[in-house]
Structure 1
Amino acid sequence: MIKEMKSRLSAKVFLLTLLLIAVCCFTTYSFILQAAPKNYQYDIEDVDLELSFLPDEFSRIEKEYAYMFLEAESVWIEEQYENEFELHFFQSDGQEVSLHDINQLVGGQITDYEKKEKTKHYTTSFVDSDSIYTLLVTRNTAKHTQTEEAIQGTLPVLCLVVLSGSVISAFFYSWYMTAPIKKVSKLSKQMADMDFSGFCPVGRADEIGVLSDSLNTLSRKLATTLSELQEANQKLQADIDMERRLERQRVEFFAAASHELKTPITIIKGQLQGMLYQVGRYKDRETYLAQSLEITDTLGKMVQELLTISRLDTPGYTCKKSNLNLSNLIIDRITAFEDLFMQKDLTASQSISPEIYILGDMQLLQKVLDNLLGNAAAYSGAGNQVLIKLWNEAETTALTIENTGAHIPDEAIPKLFEPFYRVDQSRNRQTGGTGLGLYIVKTILDLHGAEIKIANTVRGVIVDLQF
């Protein structure tokens, strides 16, 4: 039954109206209760102890001064107990006398207070009189009338509160009934405009809640489908752009490779023809045969590097990584280049932290080190230094190779990793460079997730690797 009532809008309206009436009545009752004075906060026994001392006090004073003690005690009781109690004084015949003048009767009898809440009867007498008097404290019944006065005084405020509460309740009621429909309408308009990012947070189990949940579900599914289509289109477009870029790079690479291969082949062909026909200076065959052999070696190096690039750029190629002692590998490669450094009159200075391990392919990283050390030897003049440093830095491993006495134009640094790029064409021809070394280095380091930077320093050029 409860489930059925939750699913029916009419039942919800009935329960909501009933709840609003209950809230209004409770608010009215609470306000009256709050505005009414707090009667009888103290017990009658609270004043018994105070009265127990009065007979002894009266027995030590004269009758004519009794009114002073009675008035003072009455005022103290009113102030101490917030006017909840009254002090009464009676003659021996039971007639009540005035607290301001005990010789004056007030018309009351002690029997008038028999049915009222009161303290014990305390009898006393005065030092100059044998008459017996009785005193007691009763509830101040006149205080009850203050409640009626308070309720009448708060009537205008109470009416204002009830009116305000009714207006607020009516507003809440209309909002509760129309807000979900407005949300559903807004969501449907967004969906009509192909905007599926909206959501209708109704949280109800009735007909409007079912409609809202259906629209939310439809919106999510359409948004998911549209997002998947957009992602598929973006991925397709990215694949197309990547394929075009790779194709353009292939065309540019093979065009550059064809040009680079054509030049040495043309030179060798010209020299061989000159030697065959013994034309002019080519009669000195020994000299030009040596030159042709040198060019052939350069051509062979270029072909080997092209094969390396072709292997590294093969789709799906992965290098064989293992836990590699990079410190030992660098020391081994520096040792292998000692003769070359001596021939170039270069001093190799190293600062290698021991036992530094990384995950990498030893053959590929050896090729990286050989290229970098070879470049340092090739482009440093005699008498300079090659400084190699390796250390751990936070979560990375840093390797720097600096060769002094060298300089690279600032505009050429961004192009150093392009295939077949040479800073100085004539100088690279003399040193046998193919323009592919740094391109291969960058490709290998990308496979290892490492970064490489080349920059000019005060002393020369530094290569910075971060693993």
Structure 2
Amino acid sequence: MLSFSYRNRIAFYYIITTALLISVVFTVIYISVKESVYRHIENDIAIEKTKLFEEISITNEGFILIDQNEWKEKEHNTLDVNPIFIQFTNTEGKMFDKSPNLKNSQLIFHKSEEGVPLYFDAKLNQILIRQSQIDITYKGKTVGYLIIAMSLEDANLVLRNLRYTLLLTFPLVLGILFLVARFIVGRSIEPVKTIIETSNKITKDNLNTRILLPDNRDELYELSDTINNLLNRIENAIKREKQFTSDASHELRTPLAIIKGTLEVLIRKPREKQEYEEKINFCISEVDRVNKLVDELLLLARFENEKQNIKSESVLLNALLLDTSARFSEKIKDKQCKINNQFEDEVYIQSDYNLVSIILSNIFSNALKYSEENSNVTVKLYNENNVVKCSITDEGIGISEEDKDKIFNAFFRSESLNHPDIKGTGLGLSIVKRLCELLSIIINIESQLNKGTTIVLSFPEEEIK
């Protein structure tokens, strides 16, 4: 099939459908006119038949025309204007009288036993005629036949002209409709051209351009709005990617620069063994920090770029929380913190054990990191309105109101300049937020500066056992 433009393709499909419809309509018109013309001729024949029955004398021997002047009427004498042909035959089909306009010709006779139709077409000297044959009976006995016919030349002329007119009109109408349809379709898809032109202007460096929405809220409006929403998501994703890349490169450069600077200072002159050990241990701690940062970056990138194949398994939250606090036993001991576990009952959820463990570990790590020495960390597990909730509360430095909206951003650390002694990458809560979105867990933060922070996890109701 030829490659058409979208506008021509729609117009073409419209014309194909219209052509079928018009052909059906023209066919119905032609058949209706033909039936009307034939019905008119048959009515004239029926009228003539009734008239002739009143003007013939029927006896047991046969029948005859009473008034011979009937043959002098114009329609029985000429062939030009509405000629009516009449023929009388006996029971054997032998003609014994006829109208003068038949001259030397005869109408076709059909034997009655052949089942003669009331009206049928025949030819008279190459002239097409409509003919009817009527039995003449006397006391239930057929004594002869009356055959009446009318010329179909005028009718065929009308039908022929109509046929030619319809055949000539058909392509003309289709051509006009094609041009009209093409024009209308062109106007209708004008917003599509706008979409194409606008889309061509959009590049990775120019993502703020948006498609102008049409006035009518139709399918094209929905398409334009959907594309605009898609562009919004792409723009936000690219902004996040640029910010993430910038922050990641900065966070990685800092410890590497520190390690490089330390090593350069170390090799400038001979030093004591203790000083070597001190600087090497410092570099090792920085390398560990870089390793942790890389691991967290890879973990966050994995969840940002693809949806994890989440496992659904039965998770006992009580045991998972106890295992999580046990992993931080050394840090708990160093800070001399007290862990208060407040569990109502054993609580099971259907979720991914490993991902939930990462969420709880990051939250627990932050709670200990920002807690003061000899403070309390309270872990609650409870059911509220058929929703399982887990809260972890510390008595640490807290989060200011202006920082609450930024706390889940990658590399953001609240009050980091005021607490240089607290080390971290600022990726923990970003990972927590992303995993909560994957697992449909609602996370809320309640915090007061210098008083502490509470993080509440609400697990999906449908996953509660």
TM-score, normalised with respect to structure 2: 0.49
Which has the larger strand fraction? 2
TM-score, normalised with respect to structure 1: 0.49
Q: Which has the larger radius of gyration?
A: 1
